């Protein structure tokens, strides 16, 4: 793949990430923010030992939930879109005989699974008021460790499946690779320390709804990126495969 094509895919990846970020922003604002407000209300109602009401608020909650939220998600979408496009350039043609569109969807699904779902199942997202402020660094480190392990295990499973393919065939090699990934991931779950810092009295339904909204945001982000970037990549790499206007419509336009 020449540098011009890589550059074009990079630009399209960033645009697709921006579009996916807009979709994720809608989900975050309407599904996630109300639960964050409820969690903050719980935290303020149960605060003790300090007069939080007199503390100066550096950034207002309204600004955080609007401009701050939009800036963070859209910048994240552009950044991850560019990185995903570069990974796509490497993966295209190496993961099977898939079309550019199908490769983009496959890559997005794998990224969602490895970068979010696997770490999330061990260390799920928590709203405000859940978690000890003194353990933020430890919890962040454990989450990043789980993410790195998931990426390494996914790469190892892919190489394992490719080695088995000539012997077992593509189908059973894929089954064996997925099973090996699941088993080793389960062992990582068992050996890594657990984190349970939900305060007493915190509503379980609120925690559950917040985590569902966090998953919905990531699904929207990666699915939107896969669909948009897949279509853009398809039009760039295989323009002849994109349906053109019907002959009748073309003749009408020519008149």
| pLDDT exceeds 80 at position 242 | no
d(CA 5, CA 237): 8
Residue 54 has pLDDT above 50, yes or no: no
Domain ranges of the chain: 1-48+61-130+201-242, 132-197
For the cut 90, the answer to whether the pLDDT of residue 60 exceeds it is no
Best CA proximity match to 13, nearest among 243, 224, 240, 242: 224
Query: 139: how many CB neighbours lie within 10 A of its CB?
Result: 15
The vertex-212 CA angle with 207 and 213, nearest 5°, equals 100
Q: How confident is the model at residue 247 (pLDDT cuts 50, 70, 90)?
A: low
Mean per-residue pLDDT over the chain, rounded: 86
The SS3 assignment for 197 reads: coil
Distance, CA of 238 to CA of 10 (rounded, Å): 17
């Amino acid at each position: 793949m020449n540098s011009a094509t890589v550059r074009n895919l990079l630009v399209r990846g960033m645009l697709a990430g921006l579009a996916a970020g807009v979709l994720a922003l809608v989900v975050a604002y309407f599904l996630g923010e109300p639960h964050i407000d409820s969690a903050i209300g719980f935290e303020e109602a149960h605060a003790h030992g300090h007069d939080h009401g007199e503390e100066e608020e550096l950034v207002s909650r309204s600004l955080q939930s609007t401009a701050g939220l939009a800036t963070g998600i859209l910048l994240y979408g552009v950044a991850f879109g560019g990185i995903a496009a570069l990974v796509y350039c490497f993966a295209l043609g190496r993961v099977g005989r898939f079309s550019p569109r199908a490769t983009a969807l496959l890559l997005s699904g794998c990224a969602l699974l490895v970068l979010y779902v696997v770490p999330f199942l061990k260390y799920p997202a928590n709203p405000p008021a859940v978690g000890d402020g003194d353990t933020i660094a430890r919890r962040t480190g454990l989450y990043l460790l789980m993410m790195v392990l998931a990426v390494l295990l996914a790469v190892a499973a892919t190489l394992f499946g490719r080695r088995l393919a000539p012997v077992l065939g593509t189908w059973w090699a894929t089954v064996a690779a997925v099973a090996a990934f699941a088993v080793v991931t389960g062992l990582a779950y068992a050996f890594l320390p657990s984190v349970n810092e939900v305060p007493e009295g915190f509503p379980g339904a609120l925690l559950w709804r917040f985590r569902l909204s966090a998953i919905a945001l990531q699904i929207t982000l990666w699915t939107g990126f896969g669909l948009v970037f897949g279509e853009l990549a398809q039009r760039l790499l295989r323009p002849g495969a994109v349906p053109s206007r019907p002959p009748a419509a073309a003749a009408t336009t020519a008149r």
